[in-house]
Amino acid sequence: MDPRNAEQETQPEEPRFLNFKHQPEGTQRDGKPVLNRWSTTLTNGHDFPGAQAMLYAAGVPNKQAMKTQPHVGIASVWWEGNPCNMHLLDLGKEVKKNCVEDDMLAWQYNTVGVSDGITMGGEGMRFSLQTREIIADSIETVTCAQHHDACIAIPGCDKNMPGVIMAFARHNRPSLMIYGGSIKPGYSETLKKPINISTAYEGFGAYVYKTLKSAEEGKFSPDEIMEDIEKNACPGAGACGGMYTANTMSTSIEAMGLSLPNSSTTPAESPAKMRECAKAAAAIRVCMEQNITPRKLMTKASFENALVMMMALGGSTNAVLHLLAMAGTAGVPLSLDDFQRVSDKIPFLADLAPSGKYFAADLFEIGGMPAVMKLMVAAGLLNGDIPTVTGKTLKENIEPYPSLPQDQAIIRPLNNPIKKTGHIEILRGNLAPLGAVAKITGKEGLLFKGKALVFDKEHELDAALNAGTIPRGENVVVVVRYEGPKGGPGMPEQLKASAAIMGAKLTNIALITDGRYSGASHGFIVGHICPEAAVGGPVAVVRNGDVITIDAEKNRIDMDVSDEEIQRRLKEWKKPKAAVTRGVLAKYARLVGDASTGAMTDLF
């Protein structure tokens, strides 16, 4: 073995989680597979009489059901205060109804979420990323503590999806994910065009810089336009409608075989989403009968599929963080270099928001994810042979679905892509020795060089944007630091700033940070700079006026400062006091790893 490749060729250690007593795979009862492999610990005999008493009270109808029926947990990330999540309880009820009709014992429960759209730009956004860990912890806890035999999870907003998949990898019991679906596009009468949540943030930038105008010149005031946008951007239930983080994660997870066909592009309020919920019971039964468990599906090949679809569809930079964490939880080797390798070979095809003009609801109308995956499988770019939750291969799942229509404009032909390679670029250099993640669609160019304008927190930049003091003209690289996983704490998304810059048409600005961006962010942006400022990464010692070069062709991000000068500055640097010392964010800051390994909290 070449010692240089030893690390890559060594098989990773199987992740170790608490083992529970259960019936072994292949156990039969009356010639059929035993489906209550885990719950039988509680329900067989009289070893746990208190548990059985509680279960009768919770709805077990009789002794036969107690002894034979599998227990299915239906985990929704439901809460009323966010359009992404407010309908998930109803979806869960439909799932439960069909599980019960299929002779299963099913119980709904939920976990918490945070609305990124509501918290964006404020201190509440610091709580967002850590909900991924809370969701994973919650579902793992209930599944294992209650000895559930299977799990059907129903997420809505973007941290929801990786959270439930990380839980699946931990408990490793038959599981499938139902995506809550995306929202319908809104419509603005003042702008005379479809709008979405991103329009609100970009509109604010135009409002501050006095460039916000109605479609009919002078008919509406800037305040009237903003009120119209705010009122109509989110017309109902569902996750943000572009290829933002929620839809990036749902499409990636479908390409991994962990959800039913077209789950990721079926709109939240469509009859088809309810039909998907009705099909979930039969699908989870197949998973139990064939012992299709998450870690059998979460392989390097399936993660490769996720990366392929992420690049083809123009997905969010957040997917880098989340897919690394999902893979790390499942014990699958995945690194930043894998993202760059796939980006170098997969063309960017989708004219979807935020950089394009179409939405996920439009993609559904032309065949949705199955149609896109048929194109990619036929071209040999997507692996159709991976197993899935249906018991069939991915290629078999999509075979009955129609191909993309010839006259559609959303997905470009392979021979005429928006960009010949992917939009995600992994950058390294003296500013980011352990890596950074750039979202470069090519529309803003591939090279940017400018003088640094440094802000130690996002709110400082927001104040400057609100005051209209970010300059036009000369190229400027705005640096926002101390917003990483530990330094934030919580690695908040910075859509408010990135969207304001786009809305104000400040094309002379590039934005870089050790924090992260919303999937709705676009422009010349770089995030996830690692090591972060709070642990003494070089970004901590950038000074106003330092010249920074972002080169997406050479995959470099550097400041025009010598190594000796960087080391001298780092020796003088003093670690700032922790912004939070008690509570959930303090615990998160102590446990969380760096962005280049997924910002996980369970790597020891």
Strands (E), 360-465: 424-429, 432-439, 447-455
d(CA 527, CA 427): 10
d(CA 78, CA 90): 9
User: For residue 190, what are the CA distances in angstroms to 193, 215, 353?
Assistant: 8, 6, 20
Q: Give φ, ψ of 12 to 5 degrees.
A: -65, 150
H or E element that contains 154: strand 150-154
Q: Are the C-beta atoms of 424 and 449 separated by less than 8 Å?
A: no
339, with CB counted inside 10 A (0-12, 13-18, 19+), is buried
Where does residue 114 fall: left (phi above 0), alpha (psi -120 to 50 degrees), or beta otherwise? beta
| Other residues' Cβ atoms within 10 Å of the Cβ of residue 211 | 12
Q: Give φ, ψ of 435 to 5 degrees.
A: 110, 155
d(CA 150, CA 304): 26
580, with CB counted inside 10 A (0-12, 13-18, 19+), is middle
Peptide bond just before 271 cis, omega within 30 deg: no
Q: Tell me whether strands 71-76 and 547-551 are parallel, antiparallel or unpaired.
A: unpaired
Identify residue 369 by its one-letter amino acid code: M
Which residue in the list 182, 518, 521, 596 is annotated as catalytic?
518
| Other residues' Cβ atoms within 10 Å of the Cβ of residue 223 | 10
H or E element that contains 74: strand 71-76
Q: Are the C-beta atoms of 552 and 560 separated by less than 8 Å?
A: no
d(CA 447, CA 452): 15
128 tagged catalytic: no
Outline where 290-367 has alpha helix (H). 294-297, 300-313, 318-330, 336-345, 360-365
Active-site positions read: 518
